[in-house]
Structure 1
């Protein structure tokens, strides 16, 4: 990988809302190295993943070989990051 990775936000909706389906998805996602973060969400999507890929072809490989194989996914909605306005790595003092 000779270039900087692209960041992709992936919203995932599962086929069911059972503990078994969620557990299967979460266990599989924990073992996918391209997934840097995975959040359980309210709203239209069940999960939000922050994923890195080297290019569009690599992202396609990720979806086909990693995500589709999980098997309990109803929909995937993808947004590619093309710029960063702010990125903090230190938490602010809360409640101040």
Structure 2
């Protein structure tokens, strides 16, 4: 339910959150965050990304999306991808971890 005051943040950091939101809730959340940014502010998402498609985890009621799906949701929220980086040196058997800078 995070709803920042308009133009009140230079950076909004979202880490290990998006997997607990539906696609619609994520897009709405990102729209609220976008309204909370000051001029030239950025949103950073750091989270697990599936290698392909969408993976549901019934144990912790989460979802892991691939980058294409996340990019699509980001665009639907009216945001653009500024930069993206994969975290290195993690074991191959776990999800890839990415950071995305958005505006």
Tell me the TM-score normalised to structure 1 length. 0.35
Question: Which is greater in Rg?
Answer: 1
Report which structure shows greater RCO (CA 8 Å, sep ≥6). 1
